[in-house]
Amino acid sequence: MSFCFFYLLTIYTLIENVRPQAYLNDEEAYSDWNGNPVEYTIGGVLSGQKDVYEHFNNVVQELESTIMRGKMSLNTSTQAMDTNPIKTAITVCDQLIQRQVYAIVVSKPENGDLSPASVSYTAGFYHIPVIGISSRDSAFSDKNIHVSFLRTVPPYSHQADVWVEMLKLFKYRQLVFIHSSDTDGRALLGRFQTKTQDLQADDQEVKVQVEKVEEFEPGQGSYLQTLLKIEECQARVYFLYANTDDATQIFADATTLNMTGAGYVWIVTEQALKSPMVPSGTLGLELVNANDEKAHINDTLHILAQALLELYNEGNITEAPSNCNISGVLWETGKRLFDDIQKQVLEDGATGRVAFDSMGDRIYAEYDITNIQNDRRNNFQKGVVVGKYHYSKERHRMELHLDEENIKWPGDLTQKPTGLMIPTHLHVLTIVEKPFVYERLIDPSKGEKCNSTSEIECPMYYPMARNIPGAERMYCCSGYCIDLLKLLAEHCNFTYSLHVSFIEYGSLERNNETGKLEWNGLIGELVDGTADLIVAPLTINPERAHVMEFSKPFKYQGITILQKRQPRASQLVSFLQPFKYTLWVLVLVSVHIVALCLYLLDRFSPFGRFHSGPDPGNVQKEESLNFTSAIWFAWGVLLNSGIGEGTPRSFSARVLGMVWAGFAMIIVASYTANLAAFLVLDKPQTSLTGINDPRLRNPMENFTYATVKGSSVDMYFRRQVELSNMYRTMEGKHYRSPEEAIRAVKEEKLKAFIWDSSRLEYEAARDCDLITAGDLFGRSGYGVGLQKGSPWADKVTLAILDFHESGKMEDLDNKWILLNNDDDCKAKDDNSPATLGLRNMRGVFILVGVGIIGGLGLIVIEIIYKKHQMRKQKRTDMARMAINKWRGAIERRRNLRMSKDNIRSLRHNGLRGSGGSSTALTPIDSYTLSVDTLPRRELYPSDSTWRLAMDARQSSGGIAVHRNSCGSVNRLNVDNWAKQADDDEVSSSTPPPVPPHRSYSHEDSKSTLRKSTAPHHSHSSLLILDVNSGGINPSKSPSSSESSRKRKKRPPLSGISPSRMNNNNWDGGGHPSLHHHPSDEEEEEIDINNQCNSINNIDDPPSQSMSLHDMSSPEFPSIGSDRIPKPPPPPRLYWQQQQQQMYPGHHYHHHTAAPGQQRVRRRNYPTDDSDV
């Protein structure tokens, strides 16, 4: 190039020097009425042959008559091509530019390549179009130098177009490119690489890999070193660009290295094909009509005439430069003419279809494919045309047609060579995926090794650090694919080095730097030539088959869906599911309603336990059917538990109980049957039915599914139009590996994982919580991946077919995939009988636990309540003890007084002696203690304590029997006593009359005055005051048994608290005065201890009743006050002391009755204990 520029600068200097001597044409050119020239001159720099000049002039004249048709005139100006470029440049200025040529046709001299360049540079200085008809150097394509140059022949670099088509036809995908370091060699390499990339973009099936590019310097004496480098390559297809001399030396050295024999392929350019040392079997190109100067002149002038006509029709044409003195002025018409020429297309030219590209180079040039063959008869080599590269009018593009049967390949072979040296050591890649490949990390520095029988060393493969030492980590690999690789290596007789990869299988993605689609992952490594073989669960699909070879499938499979098995739904209250909550509420309400009805029926029925039995008074409380027992009975019948007590006695209640039992039987049977049905129907949500399941087609927000990014399944969804919606849904949720996706399914982060059926069936067999759903779809197979055009493809395929026939593939399935199907678990069928577990019945156990906790809580409450009751009982017992002490003291004092004065007082009132005489009752016998001074009711600690205090009050007329201290009994006759008073309060001045029907009986052991009440009286029970004992005891009249059956039980006297007694309760005579405030109706009977004096009969009642303090009056002489023993401390004081200790801070008061007006309260108690 530096030499060329030197010549161009020299030519420019010469042009500047010859401008003053330029010849000027004095003849003015004619113009039309628009001012456009009508006469155009075409210059020519041709070879020195005379017939070429004549042909040039004849064609111009012919075009003037056929194309111009009188519109314009064409003239010619031709010159012979000189081998000296300087002389050629001077000739162009003197002979052509002076004549105002509009274009120049330039040929090529027989020797030398610089003369056409000098013409192009000289004319290009004025922008005069130059059309070359034989110059094929790539330098003319540089428009920075040759601004106005066009040519009807293609440059040498365009042979790359034919080479690419030959590779496509022969299906060679790997080659070695050898070229010289000159401009044409490098231009050819650049165009070849561009064409192969365009071919791959248009057709994914074609992938041409240039294994090695070897560049050499022209003119070397030996190329052995260059050839030794390319011999190490696997490819055996050599593309050679070299001139004839260099090609001769290269072929000689290649023959020496035995690189031109069988198995090699040589494809060369036109120059190398002319070498005398070209080996037999070489394929080369020859440009059609490359040396036919007349044909090219004919096509060039036709194109030029059409361009001039278009220029004329456009108008605004200026005259061409007339001398070389003009500088710095651009001829616009010449530039327009250049553009018009470049746009012209000649369909049926002498050299074929003529057109120009943007660089002005010829396109659609036709080539012959020549095969060098040995002529055994004449013992020499000859070129045989075995194909053509030409333009197809039907398809409007260039096509290559080859007769492969007539091609003789190196070694005189008729069969096409593979173009590759079959290596015996292969680089194998695999990927970790169970059960096909298992990995185990080892540390060789610690002496760890792989098991030689079942494992293979497989370093981890890092594509980004493939050339970094120490970047690999050592693993031991085993599994289905590892065993398959061992079988293939043994059968096909090759060695291998295995690398395990943790990257994805590979997908087609756009490269951000180049903007082109490229494969990544394992497939990308195979396509780039890094790996020779991929032995992995690699799915065969059309996208991958375009860029790589697949063997026959070693395992057939499809695509399926993996889900986590949903357990049977079992809520905490699942045992309540057979009934609705409304029915449960009705059953609970019915239990208590029936219990209430049973209680009422048994209570009011005349045949119930309350109203039956020989002795109703002896019926114990716990034996009766109370409401609690009725509830227990209702629940016991419903829950089918034994009822030992508390059953209804009346017929009506028993009828209701039988009806309730029938109701309970129906309810329990319905519950049991419905519970069994719920267990059968209580199944989990059904799994997916397949790829057409609505949950996949129209997923909810919480239903996610995905696959592995860049996998065959991902490509399948991307390829299927009907699954495009699903692909868009899961595109952003893809996982990097199947292990991650399966783990996500187990953790319920992913609802469904779509993957190859063999892997998912393996996972479902090992884990009972996983199931495969639906039928298989997208059926395909796993194949061994190889490079496109790999020589091992057929051998591996035949080996796999042989493995299928011999049963070896079935053995691998049983060993690695089907081995654990029955060991870990059996597939759970949804139709299997439902079994109960803790999950189903946990609610019942929780219910029992709640019952236990509730019972513990209730017993705590009971204990607290019992302690409270005991504290109250203790206070009551203290009150009873105090009142008993007080009462005993009072009775002892009274007995002492009565023992001395009783007889005298009775006789004074008309008492007869023993023997049945009647006498009046003395006041001592009819006295009644008043308890009006006891505390008010609201001041007692409880109602029971207050009632006991009320029992101490004995109304007048309550004395029924007087028993003397000697054991004899005086029978009293008091029939004439006044009527019984009905008032609650009776004045002590008016003694209460003895009620009628009173009888006085004599007993041997003791004499008791009993009050016998007629049957019409409602209150018939008596209270007997025993003075000696200080207590009040219940008694019945022996003469009124029938009436007593109708009486109600009276509570015993107990717990009277003498808290409200003090010294003030004694009247002026030292007698106790008791005040009583009763609240319930009651009757009392006073049982007085026997007196020592005998009392026989008392017939007449006393004329008046007398209070206790009247006993010391003159009418009733008695012992004196000095003989009356001093009373004990008042009970009130004792009670106050006790209450102050237990209830500090309280104050108590008492009431003292007016003298002579002792109040007596009569109270009729209820007749039943249950009403107390």
Coil, strand or helix: which one is 780?
strand
Residue 1039 identity (one-letter amino acid): S
C-alpha–C-alpha distance, residues 726 and 733, integer Å: 11
C-alpha–C-alpha distance, residues 254 and 266, integer Å: 11
The H-or-E segment that residue 854 falls in is helix 838-908
Structure-token pair, residue 958: 């309550």
C-alpha–C-alpha distance, residues 497 and 454, integer Å: 16
CA dihedral 825, 830, 835, 837 (to 10 degrees): 70
Q: Is 417 annotated as a binding residue?
A: no
* Contact indicator for 369, 398 with CB cutoff of 8 Å: no
Q: Is 1015 annotated as a binding residue?
A: no
Helix pair angle (293-314, 50-63), 10° resolution: 30
DSSP per-residue string spanning 439-473: EEE--GGGT----TTT-EE-PBP-GGGTTSTT---
Q: Is 756 annotated as a binding residue?
A: yes
Structure-token pair, residue 944: 């029971």
C-alpha–C-alpha distance, residues 112 and 92, integer Å: 18
Structure-token pair, residue 35: 């001012």
Coil, strand or helix: which one is 1025?
strand
DSSP per-residue string spanning 666-708: HHHHHHHHHHHHHHHH--PPPPP-STT-HHHHS--TT--EE-B
Residue 1131 identity (one-letter amino acid): P
CA dihedral 576, 579, 580, 582 (to 10 degrees): -100
Chain Cα centroid distance, residue 677: 31
Q: CB neighbours of 467 closer than 8 A, spacing ≥ 6?
A: none
Residue the block writes with tokens 């008809």: 133
Nearest to 708 by CA among 666, 743, 674: 743
Structure-token pair, residue 144: 């920075």
Triad 562, 565, 571: Cα angle to 5° = 150
Chain Cα centroid distance, residue 390: 63
Report the DSSP pairing between strands 1022-1026 and 1031-1035: antiparallel
Structure-token pair, residue 1073: 């005065």
C-alpha–C-alpha distance, residues 537 and 812, integer Å: 14
C-alpha–C-alpha distance, residues 12 and 9, integer Å: 5
200-228 as b/e, with b when 16 or more CB fall inside 10 Å?
beeebebbbbbbbebebeeeeeebeebbe
DSSP per-residue string spanning 958-996: -EEEEEEETS-EEEE--TTSPPPP-SSEEETTSPPPPPS
DSSP classification of residue 786: E
Burial of 1 (0-12, 13-18, 19+ CB in 10 A): exposed
C-alpha–C-alpha distance, residues 1092 and 518, integer Å: 139
Residue the block writes with tokens 């997208």: 778
Q: CB neighbours of 971 closer than 8 A, spacing ≥ 6?
A: 1000, 1001, 1002, 1007, 1095, 1096, 1097, 1098
Q: Is 833 annotated as a binding residue?
A: no
Q: Is 1035 annotated as a binding residue?
A: no
Chain Cα centroid distance, residue 321: 84
Q: Which residues are annotated as a binding site for L-glutamate?
A: 537, 539, 544, 712, 756
Q: Which residues are annotated as a binding site?
A: 537, 539, 544, 712, 756
